[in-house]
Amino acid sequence: MSDVSAEQQVATVTCPVCGNVVPVGAFCAACGTHWSHDADTPSARRAHSYVAAPGESVLHLSVVSSLFPHLSHRSRGPFRVGLLAVVVALLVLAGLRLQAPAIAVSALGIPLLFQLYIYEANLYDDEPVFATLLTIGVGAVLGVGWSLLTSHYVTSASRLTLLGGGKSGSTTTHIVLATLVPAGSQLLMVVPVALMWALRRDRYRESMDGFVFGSAGALGFVAAAVITDLAPELHAGARIHGSTANLYVQTVVHGIALPLVAACATGLVGAGLWLRRAVAAEGGDGADTPGRLFTLWPLALAVAVVVQVGLGYADVSTPGNAVVLVAHLAAAAAYLVALRVGLHHVLLHEAHDIRIGPPRVCHHCHHVVPAAPFCPNCGAAEVASSRASRRQLSLQTPAEETP
């Protein structure tokens, strides 16, 4: 229901795409359409302006604005520094052949950074302990259990591909390692977000909540699995005397590529699972809306399993570490872009309370605009900002803001 008093304070126009009466601006405040483009172009094709970071295109390759979408432009700088610190630490430790610290940073670097992001954006609201235990906690338990169950195959893989042990082993071992282990891992990563959906979907109702729960659970799984899988290597001591190149590959794959792929893939499944779809303006169900394919969580899960199996075969079948490294980094880069495309369409397809609220400061462009699902000035989705920042900005008046 529209806020009539607020509507009377701003000029309005009827959006030619969604049919809602919204404030005049560069973007439709109800569906996110960019009006400077052809009116017949659906909002789901707004590839030039990512809804969680309007200054970037949807296909822009960025770890921070992709994996930490709730952060404002000003808040992303410290997380870029944190991410760079993790990468530098991994490379330095590998160069010094300090295997034990390298394993610790590989397992905990990105997961801890993601937990700091959750804390910074206050994404768990007033029950952080429960949400943390049910996501990263359950994920960690599953990661340890699955790693112990498949330790025979995974330890073999580490020797064969990452530690330069050469090719050996049975065909059955390779098939199990390349297919069942990664596929099972991806399916288990979905368990934490599925539990949150079953227990808390009435409390957390936004699709971005599903993304956060999915990514957190997957990172908990990966952190625990990496520590469990590589623990036997610590028997050789904290410092290794083999090839430095092999340790570089191990740390980059386990510390960067694996957590990024897991967080992006499972976060995308969670966002699709949480999505409450908007009904088309013509009265249909929106099934033919462009971009809807990117919002289907079963498809996202199927693709995630296929990618994990493909990486499993790369680990087993490739002739050298360089190919393994390239395969994993390419998958991580591709999934960062896929996550942006998926979240972009999820936010554009999500059902919103279409209303014109009181003036507030946009979390992204910092202009004073009427409260609405999308900023009329920059097109940013309101749910791509934290609840804490939304509450804070709603309590402020335009006189207190800096446009």
Mean pLDDT by 10 residues, the chain (403 residues): 48 82 86 70 68 90 94 87 95 87 92 94 85 94 93 56 43 73 94 94 89 96 92 67 76 94 97 76 47 88 95 79 90 96 90 75 83 87 78 52 41
152: buried, middle or exposed (CB in 10 Å: 19+, 13-18, 0-12)?
Answer: exposed
Q: Do residues 330 and 269 share a domain? A: yes
Owning domain of residue 55: 1-60+352-403
114, two tokens = 């993601």
| Strand duo 12-14 + 21-23: pairing | antiparallel
What are the C-alpha distances in Å from 13 to residues 19, 22, 30, 270?
9, 6, 11, 35
Q: Do residues 142 and 169 share a domain? A: yes
Closest CA to 162 of 114, 78, 226: 226
Q: Do residues 54 and 127 share a domain? A: no
Q: What is the predicted pLDDT for the residue at 54?
A: 87
Q: Do residues 52 and 153 share a domain? A: no
Q: What is the predicted pLDDT for the residue at 388?
A: 67
- The H or E element containing residue 337 is helix 321-349
Structural domains of the chain, count: 2
Answer for the pair 159, 242: CB distance below 8 angstroms, yes or no.
Answer: no
Q: What is the predicted pLDDT for the residue at 400?
A: 44
Q: Do residues 193 and 254 share a domain? A: yes
Rounded to an integer, what distance in angstroms lies between the CA atom of residue 368 and that of residue 107? 42
Rounded to an integer, what distance in angstroms lies between the CA atom of residue 25 and that of residue 31? 13
Q: Do residues 328 and 400 share a domain? A: no
Closest CA to 218 of 275, 258, 160: 258
Domain finish residue from 325, 347, 369: 347
326, two tokens = 């390239």
pTM for this entry? 0.86
Q: Do residues 198 and 212 share a domain? A: yes
Q: Do residues 123 and 153 share a domain? A: yes
Answer for the pair 374, 26: CB distance below 8 angstroms, yes or no.
Answer: no
Q: What is the predicted pLDDT for the residue at 38?
A: 56
Q: From the CA atom positions of the chain, what is the Rg in Å?
A: 23
* Cα 304-209-372 angle, rounded to 5 deg: 120
337: buried, middle or exposed (CB in 10 Å: 19+, 13-18, 0-12)?
Answer: middle
Q: Do residues 170 and 154 share a domain? A: yes
Q: Do residues 319 and 249 share a domain? A: yes
DSSP letters along 80-122, please? HHHHHHHHHHHHHHHHTTBHHHHHHHHHHHHHHHHHHHHHHHT
Q: What is the predicted pLDDT for the residue at 216?
A: 97
298, two tokens = 């079963």
Q: What is the predicted pLDDT for the residue at 290?
A: 64
Residue type, 208: M
Q: What is the predicted pLDDT for the residue at 241?
A: 57
Closest CA to 298 of 194, 155, 177: 194
Domain finish residue from 347, 376, 391: 347
Q: Do residues 372 and 318 share a domain? A: no
Domain finish residue from 330, 347, 364: 347
Q: Do residues 365 and 329 share a domain? A: no
Q: What is the predicted pLDDT for the residue at 299?
A: 95
